Structure 1
Amino acid sequence: MAALVTVTDAVLAFPVAYFMARVAGPRLRLALITAVVLPLWSSYLARVYAWRLILSHDGALNWGLKALGLPPPDIGYTNVAMWIVFSYIWLPFMIMPVYAALERIPGNYFEASQDLGARGGRTFVKVVLPLAMPGLVAGSIFTFSLTLGDYITPVLVGGPGSDFIGNVVYSNVGVANNIPFAAAYATVPLVLMAGYLWLARRIGAFDVM
């Protein structure tokens, strides 16, 4: 789930961040940055409960589709619901680092790429993507680690059968009172994040910083 949310947010964030950094004017850029950051000013629980009301079996999504004569998807309290909620909640943490990385790319790099005969796709692969990699890595660290350790969203949106690492640790601390197992299991996200950072360094993601 953490990997899926990270990939989803990267795919959604990149075009938004590129438009903000390279296309939008100053006023529109300010409005877009405000729109991206504004949800972070609200309570985490309020946003999760809002999505719970939207995606539940008698929620706004199913009601709206029924009103249009379409079959309801009934994705409430499923892994799909968790994927949607996680992707929405952590999306600003991916957009802003990617935006910061894209904004720092000098405009003459694009001109030089065009002068050398590169088309848009080649410019993206050879110029934009490598220089945006620090932002993608920074954003993915946020989205991956925050999803990996979350225990509120799986309970509220995924239902009681959704056992994430945080839920297992919490249940063994508060219910089973198995502190040694909880402490040992809590090292799992640390090991996974250490492996992820090592892999990012191996592929050269930090070389362009």
Structure 2
Amino acid sequence: MTVIAGFFHRHPRARLAALLSAPLAWLVVAYLGSLAVLLTSSLWQVNTFTGEVVHESTLDNFRTILTEPVYRNVVLRSVGVAAAVTLIDAVLAVPMAFFMAKVAPARYRRILLVAVVTPLWASYLVKAYAWRVMLANDGPLDRIFGGPGYGLPATVLVLSYMWLPYMILPVYAGLDRLPDSLLEASADLGGRPGRTLRSVVLPMLVPSIVAGSIFTFSLSLGDYITVQIVGGKSQLIGNLVYANIGAANDLPFSAALATIPALVMLVYLLAVRRTGALENL
């Protein structure tokens, strides 16, 4: 043991490699390995007569998704829902986070942070079914506003509620790092609150907002439980993956559908990496 300890003491790079070997091995095997299996199986086919999986690589599954109007519309609808949820959460998160970071007294900020994080401790299903009750006919929202009922608007509403904390937290962190002197300087130069928000605060918050959007967009893009509970007849990618695994028993096509959100997020991450958003995660 003394010899080993002496070796690692003399070679800090070897010590670092030994410390990182276990988590890196887990990342490669569990995460990257599962993605490799998913991509590989998405290239297979199911024999229509025997129902057995044919282990021959082909792009027919992806060709079907991109050319068949039904599947193409579901993909575009899923991306649209994820984008709408992200936009709604950003609009709600900026004023809430600004109040928490710059307006509320310091002694209340931790309480507000706990209030934002607390919904994440509740069960996902409990929250989704609570919204189902509120959106149902004769439910609270229906009685007060004539609620939206079940469907795509209800899905966007519930997903926006579910993932709002993931947008508030990075925006709050960005605002917390924003020096108060910049706001005071803007006020001294005659900048009104609206102008200060547009010209000083929002440009510096872009990386934080993009960082939050990575969570809200990806979580909404792959969600299927909410649309199952409050979506009515709406179909998103997650629903089609579940349907093809269950009744259709077409695992390769389900794998191809599940690959689409991963590819979309890869393109999105490549597009936003220059904004500095990844440093704010």
Any unmatched runs of 5+ in structure 2? 1-80
Deviation at residue 197 of structure 1 after TM alignment: 2.2
Find out whether 1:53 has 2:125 as its counterpart: no
Distance in 1 (CA, whole Å) between partners of 2:212 and 2:279 is: 15
Tell me if structure 2 keeps the 8 A contact 1:57–1:75. Answer: no
SS of alignment partner, residue 186 of structure 1 = helix
Distance in 2 (CA, whole Å) between partners of 1:111 and 1:208 is: 27
Query: Which position in structure 2 is the counterpart of 1:176?
Result: 248
Deviation at residue 114 of structure 1 after TM alignment: 3.8
Tell me if structure 2 keeps the 8 A contact 1:20–1:99. Answer: yes
Tell me if structure 2 keeps the 8 A contact 1:131–1:208. Answer: no
Deviates more, 1:21-30 or 1:91-100: 21-30
Find out whether 1:96 has 2:176 as its counterpart: no
Find out whether 1:143 has 2:216 as its counterpart: yes
User: Could you give the per-residue CA deviations for residues 93-124 of structure 1, whole angstroms, max 9, x where no partner exists?
Assistant: 11111001100011222233344554433432
Residues 120 and 61 of structure 1, relative CA distance in 2, 3 Å threshold: closer
Distance in 2 (CA, whole Å) between partners of 1:74 and 1:14 is: 26
Tell me if structure 2 keeps the 8 A contact 1:98–1:136. Answer: yes
Query: Which position in structure 2 is the counterpart of 1:68?
Result: none
Which structure 2 residues correspond to residues 69-148 of structure 1 after superposition, within 5 A? 73-148=146-221
Distance in 2 (CA, whole Å) between partners of 1:125 and 1:26 is: 25
* TM-score, normalization by structure 2: 0.66
| Letter of the 2:234 counterpart | S
| Letter of the 1:191 counterpart | L
| Letter of the 1:142 counterpart | F
SS of alignment partner, residue 211 of structure 2 = helix
Query: Which position in structure 2 is the counterpart of 1:165?
Result: 237
Distance in 2 (CA, whole Å) between partners of 1:115 and 1:77 is: 50
Tell me if structure 2 keeps the 8 A contact 1:81–1:157. Answer: yes
Find out whether 1:6 has 2:79 as its counterpart: no
| Letter of the 1:9 counterpart | D
Residues 125 and 85 of structure 1, relative CA distance in 2, 3 Å threshold: same
SS of alignment partner, residue 255 of structure 2 = helix
Distance in 2 (CA, whole Å) between partners of 1:95 and 1:22 is: 14
Distance in 2 (CA, whole Å) between partners of 1:60 and 1:101 is: 36
Distance in 2 (CA, whole Å) between partners of 1:174 and 1:51 is: 26
Deviation at residue 75 of structure 1 after TM alignment: 1.8
Tell me if structure 1 keeps the 8 A contact 2:142–2:148. Answer: no
Tell me if structure 2 keeps the 8 A contact 1:133–1:208. Answer: no
Any unmatched runs of 5+ in structure 1? 66-71
> Which of 263, 269, 273 is residue 197 of structure 1 equivalent to?
269
| Letter of the 2:198 counterpart | V
Deviation at residue 51 of structure 1 after TM alignment: 0.6
| Letter of the 1:186 counterpart | A
Percent of pairs identical after alignment?
Answer: 55
SS of alignment partner, residue 77 of structure 1 = coil
CA RMSD of aligned residues (A): 2.0
